[in-house]
Amino acid sequence: MGAELTVAVVGPAGLVGRELLELLEQRQFPAGSIRLLGTLRTAGAEVELAGRKEKIALLTPQAFDGVELAFFAAGPSVAGEHAPRAAAAGTAVIDLSSRFRLDPEVPLVVPEVNVGKLGDWRERGIIASPSSTATALGVVLGPLAAKVGLRRVVVSTYQGVASAGRRAMGALSRETVDLLNARGVRRPGRFPRRIAFNCVPQVGALEPGGSTTHELLVVEEVRRLLDLPGLGMSVTAVRVPIFFGAAFCVNLETESPLAAAEAAVLLREAPGILLEDESGGGYPTPVEVAGSDAIHVGRVRDDASAEPPGLTLWIALDTMRKGAALNVVQIAEILARDHL
């Protein structure tokens, strides 16, 4: 990589922000200095940076003066207001929120899938990182689409509460303690139904037609990542009572026949994937993949109900790592090496 960069992290107090800071240190990203920026709610708080406590400064229009690279790990409203200002000041922006994911002028990037799109980042000065669900699906479906084409993809996701934020984790903790102590659960505020000891088939707001905003966005993000705007795809997202990670059941129909054994070979050789297919039927779970940088795949099997025969497989990932923080750090490493 080139010379050390002046870096800003917006939203360092959140779960993803803290993971991002850890990864920048672990992967020895060439940051000469890191500015920690937050809104009025978090400015003045302290987070750990390189083994010491550092205060978060207030996010202002002038905060990006002299900053070469900025990570936005805050929500879409913060990104929508401040990311264009940062880009206008000459800062390369990588945004983790949903704000720019479907903007046709902003590249949506997963390095293992479409790293070539990074060449378009200067048009707006902003790069969008997909949701953890779309990231995992893009990494796994990409090599299959390149080999035999995709006709239809049906996904059911089982997502822990961490992707909904720190308060959602607190809600699961409180509900669990209340139920274990026979106190019942007050009307939940973070989720549409009780989450403790339950499965809630709603991630995001329900839209006309019955899908949620999250499900509809995932479909469009995957289409953008794979450059398959006409891909037939359906997603059902379920919130489950675990804190970290997510798992997906994926059923797909291909344009050309592809046996499960052949698919396993493709996936084993693909970047970013760890295939668990030991004899007897290997499979990963969210608990076991915590802290892993890979997208884990197992239970790859033929689906004879499709024509031509399709595939069914299982995916698990750490949503805070490759599903969020790691993806943007990998993008930043490529920017620092090739573009900044």
Q: State residue 340's pLDDT score.
A: 83
pTM (2 d.p.): 0.94
Report helix, strand or coil for 166.
Answer: helix
Q: State residue 191's pLDDT score.
A: 87
Beta bridge partners of 251: 154, 312
pLDDT at 187 over 70: no
pLDDT, greater one: 305 or 141: 141
pLDDT at 189 over 80: no
* DSSP assignment string, 48-100: EETTEEEEPEE--TTTTTT-SEEEE-S-HHHHHHHHHHHHHTT-EEEE-SSTT
Q: CA-to-CA distance for 185 and 189, rounded, in angstroms?
A: 11
pLDDT digits (tens, 9 = 90+) for 228-239: 999 999 999 999
Q: CA-to-CA distance for 298 and 264, rounded, in angstroms?
A: 9
H helices present in the chain, as ranges: 15-26, 76-88, 111-114, 132-148, 166-180, 213-226, 260-269, 326-338
What is the maximum alpha-carbon separation in the chain? 59
Calculate helix-pair angle for 213-226, 132-148, nearest 10 degrees.
Answer: 40
Q: CA-to-CA distance for 220 and 297, rounded, in angstroms?
A: 22
Q: Does domain 133-318 have CATH number 2.102.10.10?
A: no
* CATH of region 5-130+324-338, choose from 1.10.600.10, 3.40.1080.10, 3.40.50.720, 3.30.70.100: 3.40.50.720
Domain ranges of the chain: 5-130+324-338, 133-318
